[in-house]
Amino acid sequence: MTRHMDMTHAGDHLPKTSLVAPRPMDLSEKPLLQVRSVSKYYGRRIGCEDVSFDLWPGEVLAIVGESGSGKTTLLDCISTRMTPTSGMVNYRMRDDTMREVFRLSEAEKRFLMRTDWGFVHQNPADGLRMTVSAGANVGERLMAIGEQHYGDIRQTASDWLEQVEIAKDRIDDQPRAFSGGMRQRLQIARNLVTGPRLVFMDEPTGGLDVSVQARLLDLLRSLVAELGLAAIVVTHDLAVARLLSHRMVVMKEGRIIETGLTDRVLDDPQAPYTQLLISSILQV
Amino acid sequence: MTSAPFSSSEAQSGAIADYNFAYLDEQTKRMIRRAILKGIAIPGYQVPFASREMPMPYGWGTGGVQVTASIIGPDDTLKVIDQGADDTTNAVSIRAFFAKMAKVKTTTHTGEASVIQTRHRIPEEQLHEGQVIVFQVPIPEPLRFLEPRETETRKMHAVEDYGLMHVKLYEDIAQKGHIATNYAYPVKVKGRYIMDPSPTPKFDNPKMNQSEALQLYGAGREMRIYAIPPYTDVVSLDFEDYPFEVQTFEEPCALCGGTGVFLDEVILDDQGGRMFVCSDSDYCEDRRAKGHRGALSPDIYESEESLSAQISQEGADA
């Protein structure tokens, strides 16, 4: 446990030299999410082991590491898409009570996932309904929580498409007709429409070419800042971590080996593995 | 209750097999009745049941026939309709089946029937207390074309996760300017379960609400039974700014002059000639018997023969 105790210091989440734009900062001492000793084993193989950290409201945390280091397993466990073998995940609900997410009923869990949480998949096809229009994709969450006015739903969807830089006249097109970057932006709009407080992102820029990546990162950065979202971003791309996150954890073989403010970790890596990871970035 | 498949005398004489009353054996009927009772207790909930092979292909009403066979008694009077008509293949065959296997009285008059098995329509004449209407259902799951996984749709029903249903209606409006779903229009039963009313036209949806008759739904291939007890709220889904509407027809029935009823289009020739007639054949006949006449009523041409002669004449002229 001592390894991650230093992560729970109050104030540790304040981005001092981060590139992230100023945002409405929640200075409350109460964490939004607590992850405690989460382990997931696939038979005898380790998915992730004994992972603990806290996340504060409005904070962006990057989980970095190479392929197979357990990043996605960890994200799936925290977001209840998968049940961990052991460990606990607590979340502060909108009524300010801390709830253990695996003790929530199926109905509560689903409600949480479609209102207060978002999940951005690496492959947009996993997070979108490819056979219904962009407008319906964005509107689905609204309809799921009881919105029943077509005009209002459509207006909201249209506003969100604009926010994620998709032309309004594409509202009735299916995502099948969209490019990879557009699909990813649509997926983001679909998740943010209910004003979630926590968004999970699994390699949000994976599979996009660099110029599209840059635009998407710009967009994500400004949205996160504007909306005061907390986010957990899984990425193997350290540049993404640098641009988006306040704090980061480095994973290797299912365990956290280093954590700290993003700029600190990237500029002054302590663990040998982190040093190796950072030095392997190609300098152009 | 006879348990032997053949009575010896008939087997020797080469007569047909001696089946149990209403074809199904008593254990099977009990199993189906339990499913029906559970369905009635939880309005709109799809109860799984061990559907049997019936002497007819899937898609021809195996579910409806099993439900009817389980509830029918010797004193019942059965009416069978297919697309509203009593005289189409499916209706005639199923009626003959029960006339033979249960020796029950059959009728085409809605008012006289105690059990009505139907494919795709609810009769125009209002059903009354004590009647049971049995629907033949091909696909019981309203969410099926939106979510293919049965495990997932069951969960969605369990936790009332029904946003997806409105996505379909949204998509209709976005693509076609209005809710274009015309049949199998989803309904919410007693404020809880979303249900597919089988492929009845949405014209019949309002008849389901607060119906005096018991409504039973049987899906043989999909092995599901569901029910709406009498006097239950059944609400068709819609948007506040796009409220639910039923189909309307521009002209009255060409045979009986009836309005406010569901009409079928009948093609008269290959020159664009057509007529609209009541889909509910019993309702139409009843009205004609009472002296109502439509634009193409046989009486105007004196007899049925002269109508068909007239029609073929028109075709030849054009």
Name the pLDDT band for B300 (thresholds 50, 70, 90): low
How many folded domains does chain B comprise? 2
pLDDT single digits (tens) B223-281: 999 999 999 999 999 999 999 999 999 999 999 999 999 999 999 999 999 999 999 99
**Given a cut of 60, is residue A11 above it in pLDDT?**
no
Residues B270 and B309 grouped into a single domain: yes
Question: How many angstroms away from the CA of B159 is the closest CA of chain A?
Answer: 5
Residues of A in contact with B161 (CB under 8 A): 107, 110, 144
**How confident is the model at residue A28, as a pLDDT?**
60
Instruction: Classify residue B161: in a domain, yes or no.
Output: no
Q: Quick one: angle between helices A180-192 and A134-144, nearest 10? A: 20
Which residues does chain B have within 8 Å of residue A132's beta carbon, measured at their own beta carbons? 167, 171
Is the pLDDT score of B198 beyond 90?
A: no
Per the domain annotation, does B220 fall within a domain? Answer: yes
Q: How far is B172 from chain A (nearest CA, A)?
A: 10
Which residues of chain B have a CB within 8 Å of the CB of A144? 161-164
The residue range of the domain holding B281 is 263-317
Nearest to B216 by CA among B28, B24, B78, B65: B65
CB atoms closer than 10 angstroms to residue A192 = 21
Identify whether residues B132 and B272 lie together within a single domain: no
**Residue B82 domain flag:** yes
Short-list B28, B22, B157, CA closest to B78: B22
Structure ipTM: 0.80
Residues 6+ apart with CB under 8 A from A107: B158, B159, B160, B161
The mean pLDDT value of chain A amounts to: 87
Answer yes or no: is B169 within a domain. no
Q: Where are the domains of chain A?
A: 2-16+30-116+196-283
No. of H helices and E strands in chain B?
A: 9, 12
Closest CA to B196 of B211, B188, B186, B206: B186
Please state, in angstroms and rounded to a whole number, the distance separating the CA atoms of residues B162 and B193: 9
Q: Is residue B63 part of a domain?
A: yes
Q: What is the largest CA-CA distance in chain A?
A: 57
Q: Which residue in chain A has the smallest CA separation from B162?
A: A144
Same domain, B194 and B302: no
Q: Where are the beta strands (DSSP E) in chain B?
A: 47-48, 77-82, 105-106, 115-119, 132-136, 187-189, 193-195, 214-219, 224-228, 234-236, 263-267, 274-278
Q: What is the pLDDT of residue A115?
A: 92
Structure token digits, residue B184? 């199998």
CB contact under 8 Å between B239 and A110, yes or no, is no
Is the Cβ pair B161, A144 closer than 8 Å?
yes
Is A141–B171 a contact, with Cβ atoms under 8 angstroms apart? no
State whether A106 and B175 contact (CB < 8 Å). Answer: no
pLDDT: is A2 or B153 the higher one? B153
pLDDT at B299: 60
In a domain, B279, yes or no: yes
pLDDT of residue B15: 52
Give the closest-approach CA distance of A176 to chain B in angstroms: 15
Give the E-state strand segments of chain A in sequence order: 33-42, 45-55, 60-64, 86-92, 98-100, 117-120, 198-202, 230-235, 247-252, 255-261
Residue B309 has pLDDT above 80, yes or no: no
CATH number at residue B89: 3.40.50.11310
Res. B5: pLDDT tops 80: no
State the CB neighbour count (10 A cutoff) for residue A9: 9
Q: Which tens digits make up the pLDDT trace of B74-130?
A: 999 999 999 999 999 999 999 999 999 999 999 999 999 999 999 989 999 999 999
Any chain B CB within 8 A of the CB of A139? yes
DSSP assigned state of B265: E
Task: Determine contact: A172 vs chain B, CB below 8 A.
Answer: yes
In a domain, B173, yes or no: no
User: Tokens for B297?
Assistant: 């009523």
Contact B240 A143 (CB under 8 A): no
- Nearest CB among B155, B174, B239 relative to A136 is that of B174
Question: Whole-prediction pTM value?
Answer: 0.81
pLDDT range class, residue A1, cuts 50, 70, 90: very low
Contact (CB<8Å) B163/A144: yes
The residue among B236, B254, B278 that closes a domain is B236
pLDDT of residue B312: 54
Pick the residue with more confidence: A200 or B17?
A: A200
Of B161, B171, B241, the CB nearest to A149: B241
Residue B125 covered by a domain: yes
To the question of domain A2-16+30-116+196-283 being in CATH 3.30.559.10, the answer is no
Contact between A15 and A246 (Cβ < 8 Å): yes
